[in-house]
Amino acid sequence: MKTNFLNPELEKMPREQLLALQQERLVRMIRYTAANNAFHRDRYRQAGLDPETFRGIEDMERVPMMSKIDFRNQYPDGMCCVPKNQIVEMHQSSGSTGTPVVMLYTKNDIRMWGECMGRCYRMAGADAADVLQITPTLGLFNGGMGCFHGGRAADMFIVPASSGNTVRQIKLINDFQTKVLIAVVSYGSRIMEVAGEMNVKMPSLKIGIFGAEAFSEGMKEKLRAGLGIEVFDIYGMTETGGIGTLGQDCPAHCGTHVWEDHFYVEIIDPETGKVLPDGEEGELVVTSLSSEAIPVVRFRTGDLTSIISRETCACGRTHLRLAPIKARRDDMIIIKGVNCFPKQIEQSLLKVKGVLPNYQIILDEVNGIQNMHIKVEAEPGVTGYMVEKQLKEDLGFSPDGEVLPPGTLPRQEGKAKRIFRMKNGELIG
C-alpha cells in the first residue's frame, strides 16, 4: 500500500493528543466567533450559551446549529470574522438555486486549505515533483484553485488545464506524463470515453482523485478499469473552505479520513438533532477549528454518513474515518411510497453489464403523482427490460427504463446534470 505524508506529526498524532488539540481549539473558536461576529454572537445568546464558560466537546450539544440558509441570509460577508483588509481570496457556489454561498479567505486560511489538499495528494500516493493535472475550472467555483493551492503545498508539477476540451486534456496527460488527475466524477467518465473513441492509452496516469458529485462503487470500478488507475474520493464543500478541506480516503479504501486537527465532526439524527453514536447513519455536522475569515460552527451539511472508526488506520493515520457519503438529505426522491437517492440509482444501473456511465433521471409529476423515467446509454444487447428488472430488484419499484446508443445523451464539461423535473410533461428544472 503506497501512501505518503505531508505532515506526519499531525496526520499520525496519537488520539489522546488529537482530542486535546480539538478541545483547545473548540473553546478558542467559540470565543473567537462570539468576539468577532454579530451573527454568531447573537445565536449563542439566543441559545443561552456563554462563550466564556464554554468547556469544549462536553458542551457541543448546547451550541446551536447553522445551515446553508444562514450563508445565504448573510450574503455576501455577514459571517466574516476579520477586517476586509485581511481577505486575500474569495470563492462561491454556483448559486443555481438562489443566492450563492460565499467563502472568504485570509492568508492563513489559504495555507490551511493548501495543506489539507496537499495531505490528500500525498495520501493518494503522490510524491513531490509528480505531475498533477487540474481539470476543475480555476475560477469562482472553489475546485480548481483549491487543487492548485494543494499542488503548491505538495511541491507538485501543476498542469492547470481547467475544464473543457477533452481531447486537449488527453494530449496534455501524455505530453507531460501526468501521474495525478483530479476531476469531478462525471468528467473522469468523459475523459475515459473520449480516450476510448480516440483509441489512446494514458500509461503515465496512476492516480485519479474525484469529487463534487455522487460517487457510487459502480462508478469507481468503471473508472478504475477504464483508466487503469487507483481511484480516490475527495471530500469538502464551499462552507468548509472548499475541496479537500474535510478529507479523502486512503489507499486502504476503508472510509474518508477527516482532518480532525482542522475540523470537529458529529453525526446527528436529522429529525431530532441528537448526536448519534459511532456506526449509526445520520447527518454530518461540522465545526471549523482553525479557519479565520468564515468559520462554521455546528454546520449542518445535509450529507448522510456515519463514523466507521476512530482506530488507527492501516495507512498509519489516526484521524477518524467516515463512511462514503450516501446522499444529501434534500436529494431524496419518493416514488410510489419508496425513498431512494440518485447514488443508489447509479449503483443499480451500473450493475447491468453493458450499461455506460451516462444517464438521466426524469421525474414527472402528473396530477400530483410523481413518476420516474430513466434514460441510460448502453452497448448493443442491453434492453429496457434488463434495466427495469435491476432497478426493481434494488429499489423496490420499477421506473420506466429507456436504453439509448452510446453518445446519445448530452455531455457536460463540469458537473453532470442527472436529474430533470417535469410537471404534466413540461420541464420545470
DSSP codes joined into one string, 55-101? -SGGGGGGSPPB-HHHHHHTTTTTT--S-GGG--EEEE---TTSSPP
Rg (CA), the chain: 22
Cell 450559551 locates to: 49
> How does DSSP assign 159-206, residue by residue?
E---S--HHHHHHHHHHTT--EEEEEHHHHHHHHHHHHHHT---TT--
Is the pLDDT at 290 greater than 80, yes or no? yes
**Cell numbers placing 83:** 477586517
Contact 352, 387 (CB under 8 A): yes
332-427 falls under which CATH superfamily?
ANL, C-terminal domain (3.30.300.30)
Q: What is the pLDDT confidence band of residue 337, given thresholds at 50, 70 and 90?
A: low
Percent of the chain at pLDDT exceeding 70: 98
Contact 359, 419 (CB under 8 A): no
What does the pLDDT read at residue 336? 66
Q: What distances in angstroms separate CA 285 from CA 60, 66, 176, 180, 373, one per listed residue?
A: 11, 9, 41, 30, 34
Which residue spans of the chain are classified as CATH 3.30.300.30?
332-427
What does the pLDDT read at residue 176? 98
Distance between CA atoms of 105 and 152, rounded to whole angstroms?
Answer: 17
Higher-pLDDT residue of 40, 370: 40
**Cell numbers placing 314:** 492501516
Which residue spans of the chain are classified as CATH 3.40.50.12780?
8-13+102-252
Cis before 160? omega within 30: no
Q: Which residues, at least 6 apart from 66, have a Cβ–Cβ distance to it below 8 Å?
A: 43, 296, 297, 298, 299, 300
Neighbours of 194 (CB within 10 A): 15
- The type of residue at 75 is Y
Contact 295, 288 (CB under 8 A): yes
9, 10, 14, 16 alpha-carbon torsion, rounded to 10° = 140
> How does DSSP assign 132-143, residue by residue?
EEE-S-SSSSHH
Contact 320, 307 (CB under 8 A): yes
Q: What's the DSSP call for residue 418?
A: -
Comparing CA positions, the residue from 272, 237, 301, 302 lying closest to residue 91 is 237
- The type of residue at 96 is S
Q: What distances in angstroms separate CA 98 from CA 90, 101, 303, one per listed residue?
A: 18, 9, 20
pLDDT tens for each residue of 341-398: 788 888 889 999 999 988 999 988 877 778 889 999 999 999 988 988 898 888 888 8
Q: What is the pLDDT confidence band of residue 429, given thresholds at 50, 70 and 90?
A: low
What does the pLDDT read at residue 417? 82
**Cell numbers placing 82:** 476579520
pLDDT tens for each residue of 72-83: 999 999 999 999
Distance between CA atoms of 131 and 146, rounded to whole angstroms?
Answer: 16
Residue 38 phi, psi dihedral angles, 5° rounding:
-70, -35
Is the pLDDT at 97 greater than 60, yes or no? no
Contact 164, 128 (CB under 8 A): no
Is the pLDDT at 95 greater than 60, yes or no? no
Neighbours of 255 (CB within 10 A): 21
| Beta bridge pairs of residue 338 | 335
Mean of the per-residue pLDDT values of the chain: 93
Distance between CA atoms of 192 and 232, rounded to whole angstroms?
Answer: 16
Distance between CA atoms of 420 and 427, rounded to whole angstroms?
Answer: 7
What does the pLDDT read at residue 94? 63
Rounded mean pLDDT, 213-239: 92
| Beta bridge pairs of residue 284 | 267
> How does DSSP assign 206-256, residue by residue?
-EEEEESS---HHHHHHHHHHHTSEEEEEEEEGGGTEEEEEEEE-TT-SSE
CATH of 8-13+102-252, one of 3.40.50.12780, 3.40.50.300, 3.90.1150.10, 3.90.600.10: 3.40.50.12780
Q: What distances in angstroms separate CA 224 from CA 193, 247, 283, one per listed residue?
A: 13, 20, 29
